[in-house]
Structure 1
Amino acid sequence: MTLASPSPLSRRFSALYLAVGLLGFLAASSAPTPLYHLYQEAWQFSAATLTLIFAVYALSLLAALLTVGSLSDYLGRRPLILAALLLESLAMALFIVADSVAWLLAARVLQGFATGMATSVLGAALLDTDRDQGPLVNSLAPLLGMACGALGTSLLVAYAAWPLRLAYWLLLGLFVLLALLLARLPESVTRQPGALAALRPTMSVPPQARRAVWRMLPVNVAVWALGGFSLSLLPSLVRAATGSTSSLTGGAVVATLTLSGALVIFSVRRWAPLRVLRLGTLLLGSGAVLMLLALQSGLLGGLFVATLVAGCGFGAGFLGALRSTLPLAQAHERAGLMAAYYVLSYLAFSLPALLAGLLVRQFGLMFTSEGYLIGLLALCLLACTGLFGQRSVTACST
């Protein structure tokens, strides 16, 4: 049950606190990306190990979404926010003391679970606080946070001391501060029974949404597979293809992808879902083609332009996939459909990147990356066969 509305001043504090929290968790999620090549140089591990470090994060995040994702509806928002902050702080501490791959794996598993818990409860609390702007903040904050984390870490590596630890110390400070300020955050729901039952994942696609899910599936897989590739192997690929040795390059290319995605989400948020999904498919396919051409030329500027176009497709595809399917479910069907969407998306986020890491050892980073991009292009072409000529489906009203 939702509690009475807090005062306007309290609502402003709540909105700011929750938005900063979302940004912080997602910034921490991308902070390791620019550091992967430094870890590789220090500990001499393979691309397969690199993608494993990324994949365990994504799978742990998925586990959290499916189990504790709705727990705050029963226990309250603040207890779950506190639990997520404590787990994330512990993950930052593990990153700080890490001296081997085993420590990185442990930190990423813990971080993934904390991030899955945090995005669920912070997103729900934002909707409690501001139902008008909450959905927009929930859409933009993850991409803006990942951009801040990747680019901010790159800047610290280039211009500050302790390149493998300083970013984590700063993030740890942020999470400790958020934990101390949590007492000022008004609770927006009351406790109710059913918490144990909520831990059981329930996945289902209602009959009226199945056609839409099948039609959005190819581009949704391409969107999430591009995200997984970008947060694991793309910085290494840019260095290999262009010869760039700048510490800023890896973070900048990830920031280009996520910032362009956020800009497109903001720009087309009022478009019809099918129109957004079509735009995302075309831009994502075009970005894959441009990336292939940029890899052949070895031009750093070309790779940034290609990433910009692909990022626009990433944002539009993400928004279009959500808006073309979730409104088709009845109120009692939405949790099951959302769980199915999470499973499909996070498996696409982690497994293709993990497979690519395994193939790098046999075929090399360049050849594997070209095959990966051709696969993304094929998915976009497949999506076009189902999306163009289709008319919008009426959403459920309850």
Structure 2
Amino acid sequence: MEHAITANGDLYVWDMQTRYISGMVALTKEEMKTPRCIVKQAVHTDLDSSTSFSIDQDGYLWSWGECQYGELGQGESYIKSSSPTIIADHVAKFYRSHDRGEPTMYALKTDGTLWAWGYNQYGAVGNGTTETVSIPTKVLDHVKTFTCTACPSNGAFDTYTNAFALREDDSLWAWGYNDEGNLGNGTTESVLSPVKILDDVAEIETNVQMHTNLSFAIKKDGSLWGWGYNLYGQLCTGNTEPVLLPVKITDDVKDYSSVYATLYFVKQDNTLWGSGFNISSFSNDQPELTPPVLLQENIDHIQIIDDTVFSFGTDGSLSICGYNDVVQINDGFDSPYEIDRRKILDNVAWIDGECGDIFAMTNDGKLMNFSIVAIYDGKVQPTEPAEIPLPLT
């Protein structure tokens, strides 16, 4: 959505956003082009075509727009064209579930309390009911990090929210939609209030791409744990049966990433491993039910952009090392691609972008650009990196 934050933090909007502000419904197209300040001293924005939010420097959470299931948190299930309104104070972070149905909203306050409101048919709010919640409601105390995802509904187009909170005592709690067991509480029933599923957790990640419905956590001792759908054997149980309780995948993990039907992880000895349907030319067209080592080189960490897996070496080198584009053939899976596994650049600090247009910054301040090219009769390979002169003008 069209918006800008000025140097002093004032939030200006124009075009479609203006029609959700009270008294501006009848603006002409020309009037809608005029930027209008709606929140002073904003430090965070989350703008959508209908429901929008902003946190100002004093920690007040503002909302405006229209909703049908209380998503704006203004006390009514259905509101249209409301003025920007404060709905919570002392807010540190705001989260939106981004599902394809009606989303659930969350706010983590500076005192560690987690608040939720909005769509609640499967208990995503976490208040013990399935009724719509139209004002922020406290769900949990002593929360230090939080994540929420929109899970596919058993092959249907709609998605529904599940939520995970990591508390200050390093315990992991979950609630919400649970049709594939991806909450890790031992059932496939929706969970209406937070339940503890794991202790001594360092970080949590969820993966719901293409109906995978998986969750992963690294414990403080470096062990990697997972639970959920497991259709391609990503959880390394030796089969493809759903896993309803957290199961340990491996030890000594320092980095991991999950994409589509594959799990990649880097161990403390700097080796790269993978499991699941590993379309990366490391294995054949069958799922790897137990994790093989993929690269025995000095791998520091990995990053996945679109379908391509990149590895960062301990020496600062960047290499292409995997590809996850999958084609379904006769009820099985295959890929028309092979990988030209080779080094792309040295001395790399970070990369970002899309596969057709990737940017890399070197540690000595050079900005480089390259693309990933799929050649059907040969390899998937990167183009030759080109330097972009700095400063940009």
Above 0.5 in TM-score?
no
Per residue, is there more helix in 1 or in 2?
1
Q: Given the two structures, how large is their TM-score scaled by the length of structure 1?
A: 0.24
- Report 1 or 2 for greater relative contact order, CA contacts < 8 Å, sequence distance ≥ 6: 1
Larger radius of gyration: 2
Q: Given the two structures, how large is their TM-score scaled by the length of structure 2?
A: 0.25
